[in-house]
Amino acid sequence: MKLRILLVSVLLLCAPLWALGADYVIGEGDSLDIAVWGVKELNFPVKVRPDGKITVPGLGEVVASGSTPSQLQVHLAKRLKELVKNPIVTVTVREITNSKVYIFGSGVKAVVYDLSRRTTLLQLLCMLPEVKTADLRNAYLLRDGKKLKVDLHRLFIQGDTTQDLLVETNDSLFVPLLLDRSVYVLGAVNTPRSIEYREGMKVMEAILEAGGFTKFADQNDVVVRRKQGDKSQSLEVKAKKLFKEGDLSQNIDLKAGDYVLVKEAFF
């Protein structure tokens, strides 16, 4: 019976911790609840000081910053063995004031995001309503003043989860705005026009939005013209290979500012 009561007590004390995430890292300014089962004098709230330490009765100063709640529990239990027989310690994060991520750039509304739980880069991007109009090809994540080698376009648009990672305290996410937000489809299409660019847009998607090929179009003579700085690039697209042979490499990704030129066939 006593064991059952003990387990229930521990579960109740740990419930807020599970909601937070067991891998949360305690930081300066966080408010904690420390509880040692059966020892009333060692049940107390405490705030992590700017030096990363807390004061524990009977132990003095203990470093809390940089540990997860479970790691701090183990550390305190070892230290308290000198004072308490078989101490059962719980550490609950009551309030977070330290773990923040900074999001900025012309493509998003600047915001400071509180990391209240384990958060990945993909999850963070999903929280941004402006992400569809942002230039993810040139976005980047800063950590300790250095750009991390992660491709946000591949992650969010192409679903390449190998590019995903855990966001950490004081990370900064820079997201610029796409300057030229149009793709221009010209030539032998039914409705030559400019189309608002969307991340992940393919060349065939743009052609279909321009009404598709005319009956005079040479589907094997499509050119995507792209300007990169002072240089221009021409990419050939053979749509028949895509339709008849299933060659998906022909359905290339477009970029904002691209011109898609569909030429006419000569009979």
pLDDT at 8 over 50: no
**pLDDT grade, residue 125 (50/70/90)?**
very high
Q: Is 123 helix (H, G, I), strand (E, B) or coil?
A: helix
Strand pairing class (146-147; 140-143): antiparallel
What does the pLDDT read at residue 17? 37
**pLDDT grade, residue 12 (50/70/90)?**
very low
Question: For the domain bounded by 182-264, which CATH number is listed?
Answer: 3.10.560.10
What does the pLDDT read at residue 204? 94
pLDDT, one tens digit per residue, over 159-215 is 999 999 989 888 999 999 877 778 999 999 999 999 988 878 999 999 999 999 999
Task: Give a three-class secondary structure readout of 54-92.
Answer: EEECCCEEEECCCCCHHHHHHHHHHHHCCCCCCCCEEEE
What mean pLDDT, rounded, does the chain reach? 85
Q: Which residue ranges does the chain devote to CATH 3.30.1950.10?
A: 2-95
Helices (H), the chain: 2-20, 69-80, 121-126, 152-156, 203-209, 239-245
Between the two ends of the chain, the Cα-to-Cα distance in Å is 93
Q: Which of 87, 90, 127 is nearest to 109 (CA)?
A: 127
What percentage of the chain carries pLDDT values higher than 90?
A: 48
From the candidate CATH numbers 3.40.47.10, 3.40.50.720, 3.30.1950.10, 3.90.1150.10, the one assigned to the domain spanning 2-95? 3.30.1950.10
Cβ atoms < 10 Å from Cβ of 201: 19
What does the pLDDT read at residue 20? 54
pLDDT, one tens digit per residue, over 29-39 is 889 999 999 88
pLDDT at 45 over 50: yes
Q: Which residue ranges does the chain devote to CATH 3.10.560.10?
A: 100-174, 182-264
The third-level CATH classification (topology) of the domain covering 100-174 is Outer membrane lipoprotein wza fold like (3.10.560)
Half-sphere exposure (CA, 13 Å, Cβ side) for 232?
Answer: 6
Q: Average of pLDDT values for 225-254? A: 87
pLDDT at 7 over 50: no
Q: What proportions of the chain, in percent to the nearest 5, are helix, strand and coil? A: 25, 30, 40
What does the pLDDT read at residue 30? 87
Is the model more confident about 124 or about 131? 124
**pLDDT grade, residue 84 (50/70/90)?**
confident
